[in-house]
C-alpha cells in the first residue's frame, strides 16, 4: 500500500483545490442564470465551451472529495499510531524489568525517560489541531456547496419550466396548423363547385390566407422546437452539475460525521493519558481553542464521552465512509492494531491503557 503524503501538504492541496472549485462554481451558476443572455454565438459553440467547464468542475469535485477523505483517514491512521505508542509505554520493557532486579530506582528512571521521549500528549494536541482545521475546511465546503446548489437549482427549475411552456406551445401550434390546413383543403375543394367567379376568387384568397397562416405558425413551431431541443441539451448538463453538488453535500456530511466521532476517540485517549500522567492538562483543550470541533470538546469537558458507546458509533461511521469512499476506507497495513476493533474485541481491550 502506498505511503500517504504528509498531512500539511495534503491539506494545503485540498485548500487550493477548494478555492479553485469555488471560483469555477460561481462561473457555472452564472451560466445557468444567464442561460438566454448570449445571442452572439451559436448554441453548439456555447454548449461545447460550457460542457468542458462544467465537466472539469465536476471532476474537481470528485478530486477534492478524495483529498478530504484521505485526510480524514490519514488522521485516523495517525491516531492509531499514537494509541499504539501509548500502549507500549504503559508497561515496563524487558530492559527496564531487568534493571529493576538490581535497582528499582534505576528501573523507574529508565521508564520515565522513555515516556518523556515520546510526547503523546503533544501529538494528541497536534491531532486535535489538525482535526479542527480539517473540520473547518469540510464545513466551509459544505456551506459553500449548499448555497451554490440552491442558486443552481433555482436557475435549472426556471429553464425546465420555460421548456415545459415551449412544449405546450408547440402542441398548440401543431393543432392550429392541422386545423388551418384542413380548412384550406376544404375551401380548395369548393372552388369551381359553388357560386360564381367572384365567389371562387374570394375562396381562393381565403385558402391562400389559411395556408399562409399555417406556414407562419409552422415556422414558429420549428423555432420553438429548436429552442426546446437546445434547452433539453443544456438541461442535461445543468442537471448533472446540480446532482454533483447534491452528492458533494452528502459526502461532506459523511466525512464530518466520521471526523467528529474520531475526535471523540482522540479525546478519550487524551483523557486516559492526562488522568494517569499529567493532571491539569485538560485545560489545554477548550471549545474556544478548537471552534470547528467544539461539540465533542463540550462533551469532553462535561465527562460525557463513553468509550463503549463510541465503539458502536465509530463502527457505523466507518461503514458509511467505506460505502462512499472504498479506497480510503481500507485499514493501513502498517498502523498496527486498530484503535477500535468492533469485530474481535471490546473497546476496553482495544485500549489496554484504560484498564484499571
> Residue-wise pLDDT tens for the chain (356 aa)?
445 568 999 999 999 999 999 999 999 999 998 887 666 678 888 899 999 999 999 999 999 999 999 999 999 999 988 888 777 666 777 888 888 898 888 888 887 777 666 667 788 889 999 999 999 999 999 999 999 999 999 999 999 998 888 888 888 888 888 888 888 788 777 676 666 778 777 877 888 888 888 888 888 888 888 888 888 889 999 999 999 999 999 999 999 999 999 999 999 888 777 654 455 555 678 888 899 999 999 988 888 888 878 888 888 898 898 888 888 655 544 434 444 333 333 333 344 333 33
The pLDDT score that the predictor gives to residue 341 is: 36
pTM above 0.85, yes or no: no
Contacts 24+ apart (CB under 8 A), 239-245: 239/156, 240/54, 240/58, 241/28, 241/32, 241/54, 241/57, 241/58, 241/152, 242/149, 242/152, 242/153, 242/156, 244/57, 244/58, 244/61, 245/61, 245/145, 245/148, 245/149, 245/152
Residue 327 class from Cβ within 10 Å (0-12 exposed, 13-18 middle, 19+ buried)? exposed
Q: At which residue does the C-alpha cell 488522521 appear?
A: 75
The pLDDT score that the predictor gives to residue 348 is: 34
For residues 80 and 227, give the distance between their C-alpha atoms in angstroms, rounded to a whole number.
59
The pLDDT score that the predictor gives to residue 115 is: 64
The pLDDT score that the predictor gives to residue 192 is: 64
Interacting residues of 230 by C-beta distance below 8 A, sequence separation 6+: 43
The pLDDT score that the predictor gives to residue 301 is: 84
Amino acid at each position: 500500500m502506498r505511503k500517504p503524503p504528509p498531512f500539511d501538504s495534503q491539506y494545503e492541496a485540498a485548500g487550493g483545490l477548494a478555492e479553485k472549485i469555488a471560483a469555477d462554481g460561481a462561473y457555472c451558476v452564472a451560466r445557468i442564470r444567464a442561460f438566454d443572455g448570449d445571442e452572439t454565438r451559436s448554441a453548439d459553440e456555447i454548449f461545447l465551451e460550457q460542457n468542458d467547464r462544467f465537466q472539469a468542475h465536476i471532476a474537481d469535485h470528485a478530486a477534492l472529495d478524495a483529498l478530504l477523505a484521505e485526510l480524514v483517514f490519514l488522521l485516523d491512521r495517525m491516531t492509531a499510531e499514537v494509541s499504539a505508542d501509548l500502549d507500549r509505554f504503559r508497561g515496563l520493557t524487558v530492559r527496564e524489568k531487568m534493571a529493576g532486579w538490581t535497582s528499582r530506582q534505576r528501573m523507574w528512571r529508565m521508564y520515565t525517560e522513555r515516556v518523556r521521549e515520546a510526547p503523546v500528549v503533544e501529538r494528541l494536541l497536534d491531532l486535535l489541531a489538525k482535526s479542527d482545521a480539517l473540520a473547518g475546511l469540510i464545513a466551509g465546503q459544505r456551506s459553500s456547496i449548499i448555497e451554490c446548489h440552491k442558486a443552481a437549482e433555482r436557475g435549472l427549475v426556471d429553464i425546465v419550466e420555460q421548456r415545459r411552456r415551449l412544449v405546450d406551445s408547440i402542441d398548440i401550434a401543431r393543432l392550429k396548423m392541422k386545423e388551418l390546413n384542413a380548412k384550406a383543403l376544404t375551401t380548395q375543394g369548393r372552388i369551381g363547385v359553388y357560386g360564381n367567379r367572384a365567389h371562387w376568387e374570394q375562396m381562393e384568397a381565403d385558402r391562400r390566407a389559411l395556408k399562409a397562416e399555417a406556414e407562419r405558425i409552422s415556422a414558429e413551431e420549428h423555432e420553438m422546437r429548436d429552442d426546446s431541443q437546445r434547452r433539453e441539451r443544456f438541461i442535461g448538463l445543468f442537471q448533472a452539475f446540480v446532482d454533483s453538488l447534491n452528492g458533494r453535500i452528502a459526502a461532506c456530511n459523511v466525512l464530518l460525521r466520521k471526523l467528529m466521532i474520531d475526535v471523540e476517540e482522540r479525546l478519550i485517549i487524551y483523557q486516559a493519558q492526562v488522568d494517569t500522567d499529567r493532571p491539569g492538562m485538560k485545560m489545554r483543550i477548550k471549545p474556544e481553542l478548537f471552534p470547528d470541533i467544539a461539540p465533542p470538546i463540550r462533551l469532553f469537558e462535561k465527562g460525557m464521552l463513553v468509550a463503549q458507546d463510541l465503539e458502536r458509533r465509530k463502527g457505523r461511521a466507518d461503514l458509511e465512509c467505506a460505502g462512499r469512499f472504498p479506497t480510503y476506507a481500507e485499514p493501513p497495513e502498517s498502523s498496527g492494531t486498530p484503535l477500535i476493533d468492533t469485530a474481535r474485541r471490546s473497546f476496553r481491550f482495544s485500549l489496554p491503557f484504560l484498564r484499571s
